[in-house]
Structure 1
């Protein structure tokens, strides 16, 4: 009996030694890393520049009856502008971002205003505008946002000195005025950590916007001088299309966050 116990003890000792040796020789395997996650929630500011087209559908009306004297004619122009703004975004899941923002534009978008009945024409400039709205975006990548936006907009149109069709001063002047409306648009915003350059918090966005402003009749307010009384008036709406590129700084952005273990 003692011999059997000694034999079993020896076998157990050798098995334990072999198992310990196997464990000691097993290589160390590093835990897999979790994919980086970026968070778009937070405040941001931006500034940039762009260009645009200004269009206006104009109809000549008889005063004071309001009877159309001509069919609607589309007049247009173009120009440049600068823009500044701020906003707040909220990333509510892994792929969707919603936010609010406000911005202002200033520059020179010119369009033609003319009255073929009276034979006068002039240039009207959209000098500045502002907008407040919301946007909804989808993350194409953790640091690239594709979005649509829309909201309320206001604009200031500068004064116009009319000329005759021959180019001589017509002696008719229209003071500047304000108009309100709405806008829709969309764009793409991406982090500037590209080509090996580290730029935490800095982004670039390119955006298209289409703004529609309320129609205005030239004699709605008493700011037209030397216009023949009871002749006619110009009724026009304004539709402006712009595209801009802006540099964006996000205060909360520190780059992708990697989980700790």
Structure 2
């Protein structure tokens, strides 16, 4: 009887040890964390440069009557420019960003001006321009924004000194003037946190813009004996296309915000 009791006691002890082993603490598993989410809301400034093309539909009209004296001809040119600006963006959901901005451009985009009646030609320089508008963007990735923009623009064109088609000097010129118009465009802006380099707040954007300026009539000014002042006038509009690359700094950007779990 004692042997049976001892055997049962041994079995119970072994069963208890196995149960205790089964109840050992489970290994700790860390809960998954949410993916990083970037926030584009805030102010920014930028500066850069690029190149542009200028096209102008020109005709010669009578200064006294305004009657067209020639058919409309398209003249063109090209050049470079620098740009600076500032803006504010608002990210209103996980994929869309809207904003306002203003910028200025300065440089040397030139276009040809001709008077075929007098057989003279000159180079007109777009000295500076400004723009104020809105943009709407879609986040291709948390740190990459693709956008379109549009708004109001103004430009100042410098004076033009004419020469003969053969290259001879003349005293005929056009005074500088201002024009107003509108623009549309688009581009891509992306964070510079690439290739393992940490640059919080710094971005780069590349943008195409097309600006249209109203037609304006300017009198030719001359002191040539056989050409009294104001005999002819040049009537022309202006269409400028530019591509620029700018360095952008976002004041609110401290890197992606990681949601708590």
Instruction: Answer yes or no: same fold by TM over 0.5.
Output: yes
Structure 1 position 17, deviation (Å)? 8.2
Residue 22 of structure 1, CA deviation: 3.4
How far is 1:21 from its partner? 4.2
> What's 2:199 paired with?
199
What displacement does 1:230 show? 6.3
User: How far does the alpha carbon of each residue in 1:197-239 deviate from its partner, in whole angstroms, 9 at most, with x for none?
Assistant: 11100000000001111111112xxx83436356432110011
Structure 1: distance between partners of 2:55 and 2:192: 35
Q: Is the 8 A contact 2:133 2:150 kept in 1?
A: yes
**1:80 matches 2:80:** yes
Shift of the alpha carbon at 1:31? 0.2
Distance across 2 between alignment mates of 1:218 and 1:56: 14
Task: Give unpaired runs (5+ residues) of structure 1.
Answer: 1-10
Matched, 1:224 2:221: yes
After TM superposition, the structure 1 = structure 2 runs for residues 1-261 of structure 1, keeping only pairs within 5 Å, are 18=19, 21-219=21-219, 224-226=221-223, 228-229=228-229, 231-261=231-261
Change (3 A) 1:191 1:26: same
Residue of structure 2 equivalent to 1:4: none
Q: Is the 8 A contact 1:218 1:224 kept in 2?
A: no
Distance 1:162 1:183 in 2: 30
Which whole-Å deviations, capped at 9, do the CAs of 1:17-38 have from their partners, x for residues lacking one?
83x6434342221101101000
Distance in 2 separating the partners of 1:228 and 1:121: 18
CA shift for structure 1 position 60: 1.6
Instruction: Using the TM superposition, give the Cα deviation of residue 71 of structure 1 relative to its aligned residue in structure 2, in angstroms.
Output: 1.7
Count of matched residue positions in the alignment of Structure 1 and Structure 2: 247
- Listed as ranges, the gaps of 5+ residues in structure 2 are 1-11
Per-residue deviation at 1:104? 0.5
Using a 3 Å threshold, how does the CA distance of structure 1 residues 116 and 196 change in structure 2: closer, same or farther?
A: same
After superposition, give the CA deviation of every residue in 1:66-118 in whole Å (9 maximum; x if it has no partner): 22222211100000000000000000000000000010101000000010011
The SS at the match of 2:24 is helix
Deviation at 1:16, TM superposition (A): 11
* TM-score, length-scaled by structure 1: 0.89
* Cα distance in 1 for residues equivalent to 2:67 and 2:159: 26
Distance 2:154 2:50 in 1: 18
Offset at 1:168?
A: 1.2
User: Alignment partner of 1:218: what SS?
Assistant: strand
| Alignment check: 8 A CA contact 1:155 1:180 kept | yes
Tell me, yes or no, if the aligned pair for 2:34 and 2:260 is still in contact at 8 Å.
no
Distance 2:210 2:26 in 1: 65
Q: Secondary structure at the match of 2:22?
A: helix
